[in-house]
Structure 1
Amino acid sequence: MILTRPTTQAMLEALRASLWGEVPNPVFFENLSGQDWREVFQMSIHQTVEAMVATAVQQLPEQLLPPADIMLKWLVRVDRVQRKNAAMEKAIAQQYHLFQQKGLRCVLQKGHGVSTYYADPSLRTSGDIDWFFPFKDDFEDAQHLVAENQGSLLSKNRYSCGFYWRGFEVEQHRRIVQLRNPFIQSFVEDFVHEELKRPISRTFGHTSVEIPSDLLNIVQVNAHILKHQVTYGIGLRQLCDACRLYFSYGKRLDHDRLREVYAKLGMLKWAHLLHRMLVDLFHLPEEYLPFPIIPYKGAEWMTDHILRTGNFGFFDPLHPDQNNPGGRVDRQERLFENFRRFLGVAPMEALSFPIYQLYIKSFK
């Protein structure tokens, strides 16, 4: 298995050290060759955790550092990640101010909002900017507002739209918990409505921006992981997000309520597998988890798939999407394989994917 490889163990040790603000254990790096270091470097990029891993690697004793050419490339990528995060912070403040001026309520979800729970938010690789609009009219008005302010429409369906705005991809959503099961949507709507009464804010630049409540945040982050696992896959970066949220406020969550929400959403069994991975891969202390882990089978193949395929499954050596700019490789084969695996873990979410896709395409 890929997990037991020395290069994988080295990358995970560096990632853990960065995640928890510790110094990496030198033992994991003592016998790495130049080629091994290239694999560690490449793996960190495929998992979009290169800045976090590089920062930890720099703390190793001099004799254990990677070759100079690799370290230089790593540091260049760290600088790029930090520069992008700084620019994105300004863009978030500008957009939020734009929405506020028009009286639109929106919530910054996922990525950059979650990064505020990291020891060093600047090291978390950011994707796009995601906004949740609780009200349909605000969602519609926000689309027009971005378009009127230099935004170029990239995609649109019933519940989401994407823009390219001043150097960043921006997504606007009507749903913050983006599971596809049609039978849970009424519960989700009530749950989200209740949690919106407990807003939290974070400062970006000089602008206070709303982010989800503690409970809603952990649910939407973990639902996002499950949503992508059912299709092509997810990466270590998103698992790090779950770790940091549980670590930051797991002890003060309403544990019974969270278990109930997971059960209602059909993701309780899957949550046990996720929690097992968070403990095994990242050494998250179990005391920060909301309930004891039930040892279901499945954590091993989920771990192997994540490590092998990288961020959102784009770097699967068996299905090299990165070599196909036109889209996913072996689409039907991969979707069926994940459908088969998740049928026993999150059955309703697995069954709902093809139905949801047909529904979305019908209302484009």
Structure 2
Amino acid sequence: MMVMEVIQRNFFRLLRGGAFGCTGEAIEPMSPWKWNTLYNISLVHGVATLVYDGIKLYGDDFFMQIPPGLKAKWEKTKDQTVKAYTEGLDGLARLFDAMNHEQMRPILMHGQSLAALYDEPSHRTNGDVDIFLPYAPQAKKAEAWAKANGQQACKTERGTLQYSYNGLEVEHYTQAIRLTNFFLNKKLQGIINREVRCCDSTYIYIGDSKIETLPPTLGLLLTMLRIAHYTIIEGIRLRQLVDLGMTLRKAGNSIDFVKLQKWIDQLHFRRMAQLEGAMLVEFFKFEEDEIPFMDAKGSKDTKKVNDDIFSFKAGHSDDWYFTQGKNIFVRTSDSGAMTWQLKHVARFFGYYPAESITALSSSFAHSLSHIEE
């Protein structure tokens, strides 16, 4: 365990440095195997380029002794991330220009809209282009357009539409996010629909192209709900937590925290929101007064989350199973996935019980549907 604790401490020091510019703690010495393990962890969490930025920031530290081969591999990962982002910008602009010309009102979610908050937007690892289409007539029109102008258009099991467009992987959503609890989801969809219709639109610009994004307060809520989903069901990914920190630091003045607190209560989300705030304090050294939705009297215990972040098949390098996927993501394989998920949901049940039960039931039913007779 002592081996992993050193890796964890250095990992967070470098991630804090790369993402938020923190350099107050010295790097501890590590062996080549430990550095390789840290690199793999950064891939799993989608923050490899941010950690590499931290490495450059700590360049003069005496114990910043990364094997040359691994450092070159890390730099290649960074170059791939930047290239994917840069090459995707032109395609993204053309996609939104075409959809706006047809008056579909596409709204960009996640990915590139959050990357705009970063000091170096190209250093955020992005996946597919996620587009929210809040109005049914425009969503139907967008589906027909995608099938006519995109490639390999198909409906997913979640009911979204996936297709390729000039090298971009695109996904259409008619619900920006969905909770598995019927009653909570009904409240959430009401919040989203009212907010999209009543609030001033916000935009990012790529050249002359104007791209609508979610209203800031709603965007923050959805980021927090995504973190909740990963924490409860799949295991937290630190890229989303960095997004949360960036939103608070860079867009906090645009957020209505009174409204956000009301939504948190309506969705019975307070304990999970408290945990997310505690993670920002513990892992990224935020001050509590930077997190208005955090309850000063609430629990600050993040041990379960910390264990979850690093709960791979640790102990020996042969016990780590990584497979390189597209867009530089790494996935772990585990034949006991269902057993793991049962135990995992049980660990975090208390933070969001109303959603945890239905999320597990939904996941279990989905798994059964894939069992061949």
Q: TM-score, normalised by structure 1?
A: 0.87
1:286 to 280, 285, 288: 288
- Structure 2 match to 1:343: 349
Match of 2:74 in 1: 74
Aligned counterparts of 1:259 and 1:57: Cα–Cα separation in 2: 37
Q: Distance in 2 between matches of 1:182 and 1:319?
A: 38
C-alpha contact (below 8 Å) 2:323/2:332 kept by paired residues: no
1:223-258 CA-partner distances (Å, limit 9, x unpaired): 111122222223111110011011123355332321
After superposition, where does 1:137-152 map in structure 2 within 5 Å?
137-152=137-152
Structure 1 residue 160: Cα displacement: 1.7
In the alignment, which of 53, 56, 59 is matched to residue 55 of structure 1?
Answer: 53
Measured against aligned partners, the alpha-carbon deviations of 1:99-152 in whole angstroms (never above 9, x if no partner) come to: 112110111111111111111111111111101110122222222212211321
User: 1:305 aligns to what?
Assistant: 308
Distance in 2, matches of 1:168 and 1:234, equals 26
Which residue number in structure 1 is paired with residue 26 of structure 2?
A: 27
After superposition, the Cα gap between the structure-2 partners of 1:296 and 1:44, relative to the gap in structure 1 and judged at 3 Å, is: same
Q: Which amino acid aligns with 1:165?
A: Y
CA displacement 1:9-44 (0-9 Å, x = unmatched): 11211110111134x346224x22222222222221
> In the alignment, is residue 277 of structure 1 matched against residue 275 of structure 2?
no
User: What secondary structure sits across from 1:284 in the alignment?
Assistant: coil
Show the counterpart of 2:299.
296
What amino acid is the match of 2:298? P
Aligned partner of 1:41: which letter?
Y
Between the aligned partners of 2:20 and 2:239, the Cα distance in structure 1 is 14
Flag structure 1 segments of 5+ consecutive residues without an equivalent: 311-316
Counterpart Cα distance in 2 of 1:3 and 1:239: 25
**1: distance between equivalents of 2:79 and 2:13?**
22
Instruction: Answer whether contact 2:273 2:293 (CA < 8 A) is retained.
Output: no
**1:254 and 2:252 aligned:** no
User: Does 1:192 find its partner at 2:192?
Assistant: yes
Asked whether the 8 Å contact 2:152–2:164 carries over to 1, the reply is yes
CA distance, structure 2, for counterparts of residue 309 and residue 145 of structure 1 = 42
Q: Which residue of 2 aligns with 1:314?
A: none
> How many aligned residue pairs are there?
354
Distance 1:47 1:328 in 2: 17
1:27 maps to amino acid: A
Q: Displacement of 1:318 after TM fit? A: 8.2
> Which deviates more, 136-145 or 219-228?
136-145
Deviates more, 1:126-135 or 1:301-310: 301-310
Instruction: Give me the identity figure in percent.
Output: 20
Aligned residue runs from structure 1 range 123-272, under 5 A: 123-157=123-157, 159-196=159-196, 197-250=199-252, 253-272=255-274
For the residues of structure 2 that align with 1:112 and 1:227, how far apart are their CA atoms? 21
Q: How far is 1:3 from its partner?
A: 10
Matches of 1:360 and 1:65, distance apart in 2: 45
Residues 150 and 326 (structure 1), Cα distance of their counterparts in 2 relative to 1, 3 Å cut: farther
* Secondary structure, counterpart of 2:162 in structure 1: strand
SS at match of 1:5: helix
Q: Residue 6 and residue 354 in structure 1: after superposition, are their counterparts in 2 closer, same or farther (change >3 A)? A: closer
Structure 1 residue identity aligned to 2:233: T
> RMSD in angstroms over aligned alpha carbons?
2.9
